[in-house]
Amino acid sequence: MKNSLAKIPALLRQRFKQNLRSFNHWFLDTPERALLEAQQAAQRIKNVEIEHFGNKKISPESGNYTENVMSYWQVYLDKNLTIIKIKLAEFQLSRRIINISNPILLEKLKVIDEIIEKYAIKDKVISNSALLSTPQPLKINASEINKQSDSYDINDIRPTPPSEDTGVFPSSIGKTVNKIRANLTPQAEEEFMRNYRISQNRTKIALRFLIILIIVPILTHNLSKPFIVNPILERIRGDNKIQIFLNSDMEKEALHELHIFEQGLRFEYLLNQAPPLSSEVIQEKIKDKAREMADEFYLKSSSAISNVFADLISLLSFSIIIALSKREIMILKSFMDTIVYGLSDSAKAFLIILFTDIFVGFHSPDGWEVLLEGIAEHLGLPGNRNVIFFFIATFPVILNTIFKYWIFRYLSRLSPSALATLKEMDE
């Protein structure tokens, strides 16, 4: 027992020496560690410039992005610039105590210099000879990175005066304090209500304009067809009912229906569910049915012709609305952007997969066939199977190529995380 108690001070001394050596080693590596972290932050900024801004400065002028996407990149830039500023301040403080002379640090400083000069967070270039000679304080003139407005405009970054010292704490703390202070001002509630009313009015305008874009063409078609197109068409065609069928498909449909009617009469007679009919009576019934079908297909042909002109009038009304509503179009675009960018990455990926599978997926040919046959019937055109199959064999392929190019070219820049989620869901 006494031997065990006697060993405790020796173990404590050994543990203390180990901790002291570890701390000493950590302290001596502080300059290199701080500079490495600053170099990594600068490299991250450089990678974003190469991948998303064409190797140019991260700014609205360098990339075609919306305000929400640009604010995302601005916050990412501010975060890494803050890391560079703090780590260079740590590097400066540690070099006052520790003398280092390592040529490898020069390569790291080159990457850092490129970024801090580009974004104006330094007014004086680091001297390379200072690392190889006697240790001198590293003077860095940092900018107020995070003291920007809520618009996240990168052009608001300004270099601080040379006499201003770099703080140890990130300036985001000051930004948070300023935001809290602004929320406590007497004008904060008035500003909030004003922004709320603007947003509410924009939403109302966008929804009203969207309803107009849908309702007006439909009403124009349904009103112009019976009151304008049909009277003009009936006056032109007159009582001439020689051209009953508009195309061969209508004629085949009428003959098929008449043949079924004739076979139905014979079937009823064979089942003894109807009294025996003479051939003259059967011919008279078939003749009456033919007259009835002739009137029916004559009206159907007239309706198909009038649909063409009614659709043109609806398209004209839609074009007039678009031409006279530039302000509403901009508001609607902003409203749709807010909805789309407000979705989560999983929701974006889900909608993209749903949309692409419907139009270019494995089962889409059947849907395209039904859609094209319906359009042909609406316009009174013959449903040519060769034309429909050729369209299905080419257009979805072109559409699929456009989707893939859009995903590769734009989605990777607008929402990289949504692109990653989309790839995972596809796999």
Q: Which tops the pLDDT comparison, 179 or 250?
A: 250
User: Cα–Cα distance between 266 and 350 in angstroms, integer?
Assistant: 56
Find the angle CA(292)-CA(294)-CA(299) to the nearest 5 degrees: 100
Residue bearing tokens 């972290």 = 37
pLDDT recorded at residue 318 = 94
Q: Residue 85 CB: number of other CB atoms within 10 A?
A: 25
pLDDT in tens, 111-152: 787 787 778 754 333 333 333 333 344 343 434 433 433 433
pLDDT in tens, 299-347: 888 888 899 999 999 999 999 999 998 889 998 888 888 887 778 888 8
pLDDT recorded at residue 136 = 41
pLDDT in tens, 186-199: 677 777 788 788 88
SS3 content of the chain, % helix, strand, coil (to 5): 75, 0, 25
Question: Domain limits of the chain?
Answer: 10-177, 185-342, 343-427
Question: What mean pLDDT comes out for the span 47-66?
Answer: 80
Question: What mean pLDDT comes out for the span 198-225?
Answer: 91
DSSP state of 102: -
User: Cα–Cα distance between 369 and 357 in angstroms, integer?
Assistant: 16
Q: For residue 242, what pLDDT band results from cuts at 50, 70 and 90?
A: low
Could you give the percent of the chain with pLDDT greater than 70? 72
User: Cα–Cα distance between 31 and 367 in angstroms, integer?
Assistant: 66
Q: Which tops the pLDDT comparison, 44 or 322?
A: 322
Contacts of 171 (CB under 8 A, 6+ apart): 82, 144, 145, 146, 147
> Which segment of 26-40, 309-323, 348-362 scores lowest on mean pLDDT?
26-40
